[in-house]
Amino acid sequence: MKLTVYGGRHLFGEITVDGAKNAALPLLAATLLTDDDVLLENVPDVGDVRTMIALLESVGKRVRALSPGVLSVRTERDLTGAPPDSLVRRLRASFLLLGPLMARVGASQLPLPGGCPIGVRPVDLHLKGLKALGAQLESVGPFWHAHAGSLHPAEIHLDYPSVGATEQIMMTAALIPGRTVISNPAQDPEVHDLARLLIKMGAGIMIEPGRLQIEGAARLQGTTHTVIPDRITAGTFLIAGAIAGGDVTVHCQPLHLEALLSKLDELGIIVQEHVESVRVVSDGPGSFSGGRVEARPYPGFPTDLQPQMMALLSVARGASVVKETVWESRFAHATELARMGAQIRLEGPTALIEGVAQLSGTEVHATDVRAGAALTLAGIAAAGTTIVLDRDGHIGRGHRDLAGELNRLGAAIISEEEQTLEEKKEVASTEIR
């Protein structure tokens, strides 16, 4: 895929974000916990979600699209515990199937997951949690085998508040009668959204500061649930308004974006919060000051917004510091931004940035979902034309139509598909003449 971004456009208007990809993936995985029909609403039509749907169907579920964004999921045949390697390796969240499949069919087998190349993806906390619940685990080559053995509730402390491990333990414990306690769990909005679904399905979950309690049940039931808005997509559009200049309102959940909103305000960008929307007003590059951003687990600054924020800070007044504490390899976009004229020096997990008056369009490469978004935003604010090459289709894994949505705000972005269509029209017009 290729995006051609014409720079120098201000953005104006309103936009409503889709459901959260990072919430929809564990919610879809949780449908494995029941044979009943689970109706999920506001599901985003993005590549990662389509991969998860294919994974569910490969192990025995039937997924039907009732209308745009509305999916019905129920068991169609006896579940199997071994989804195809080719699908598992495409998606980091595929590892979330290990515990639920084991709890349902007695055993499961998955290779290590795939996804964006932004750092090592240890699954030790997933395995620690499953083992504490009584699972028998075995590593055979690249595969992890999980056998139910004698599952039981447990008290589990996570050394790090891993989102995936928290979700893995929650889902598995939901099918184990008795009380499981997770201390130091992830507290992300997506984790809480999964908790709300599991409660509707019949599990008892209590969220406390630093603790999650799960009262499991022998059987869970079907239900209907609406996916929360995507805070990362919302943040991306807010940063777009800030870096390009203009007046952009994003309909979302402001409470999920407090770390970003406070940082934008700190930089001197006008931020107006409402009950279900946020407005950003900016004069574009050079109108805001630099600052310090440190990506940390929620409620800290989201690592998934760090690349977009680095693009913003590259055209801020003065110096900025960006530190990444979640993914050790999430700085590939810094090199690409430097190709556009950004002044960035990397020192381990820290990026030192000296703001420039303007970036210049050139050819850059999207190395992951968020890097692709960041480079697209940088292209909107840059002088000239920026070509964002996305050979592995990263952007589409996390955004339904990034170019189209930004264009509706006033950007000028042409996707490779649109270019191909225009070329075909031109050929057809020439032949007719």
* Beta-carbon count within 10 A of 8 CB: 15
Interval 242-263 mean pLDDT: 98
Q: Are strands 270-273 and 70-75 parallel, antiparallel or unpaired?
A: unpaired
Tally the domains of the chain: 2
Question: Which domain covers residue 267, as residue numbers?
Answer: 2-17+229-422
> Taking every pair of C-alpha atoms in the chain, what is the biggest distance, in angstroms?
76
Q: Is 430 a domain residue?
A: no
Indicate whether 427 pLDDT > 50: no
Residues 198 and 328 in one domain: no
Q: Is 331 a domain residue?
A: yes
Residues 168 and 237 in one domain: no
pLDDT of 420 reads 57
Domain end (from 198, 226, 254)? 226
pLDDT of 430 reads 45
Angle at which helices 369-381 and 306-313 cross, to 10°: 20
Average pLDDT across the chain, whole number: 93
Rounded distance between C-alpha atoms, residue 24 and residue 2, angstroms: 27
Confidence band, pLDDT 50/70/90 cuts, at residue 388: very high
Residues 124 and 201 in one domain: yes
Residues 7 and 27 in one domain: no
Q: What's the pLDDT tens digit per position in 341-372?
A: 999 999 999 999 999 999 999 999 999 999 99
Domain end (from 226, 260, 279)? 226
Residues 156 and 213 in one domain: yes
Q: What's the pLDDT tens digit per position in 34-65?
A: 999 999 999 999 999 999 999 999 999 999 99
Residues involved in catalysis: 116
Rounded distance between C-alpha atoms, residue 367 and residue 358, angstroms: 23
Tell me which residue has tokens 């508040």: 161
Q: What's the pLDDT tens digit per position in 87-102?
A: 998 998 999 999 999 9
pTM exceeds 0.85, yes or no: yes
CATH at 312: 3.65.10.10
| pLDDT, greater one: 77 or 92 | 77
Residues 394 and 280 in one domain: yes
Tokens at residue 123, please? 């699954």
Q: Is 428 a domain residue?
A: no
Q: What's the pLDDT tens digit per position in 281-337?
A: 999 999 999 999 999 999 999 999 999 999 999 999 999 999 999 876 679 899 999
Residues 213 and 237 in one domain: no
Instruction: Please tell me the number of Cα atoms within 13 Å of 255 on its side-chain side.
Output: 6
Residues 410 and 300 in one domain: yes
Rounded distance between C-alpha atoms, residue 150 and residue 135, angstroms: 7
Pick the range with the lowest mean pLDDT from 130-144, 218-232, 414-428: 414-428
Q: Do residues 207 and 183 lie in contact, with contact meaning Cβ atoms separated by under 8 Å?
A: no
Bridge partners of residue 38, in order along the sequence: 73, 223
Indicate whether 153 pLDDT > 60: yes
Domain end (from 173, 200, 226)? 226
Residues 249 and 279 in one domain: yes
Residues 197 and 270 in one domain: no
Indicate whether 257 pLDDT > 60: yes
Q: Do residues 193 and 29 lie in contact, with contact meaning Cβ atoms separated by under 8 Å?
A: no
Rounded distance between C-alpha atoms, residue 187 and residue 216, angstroms: 20
Residues 143 and 259 in one domain: no
Who's near 382: CB < 8 A, 6+ residues apart? Answer: 5, 7, 8, 340, 341, 358, 359, 360, 361
Residues 10 and 57 in one domain: no
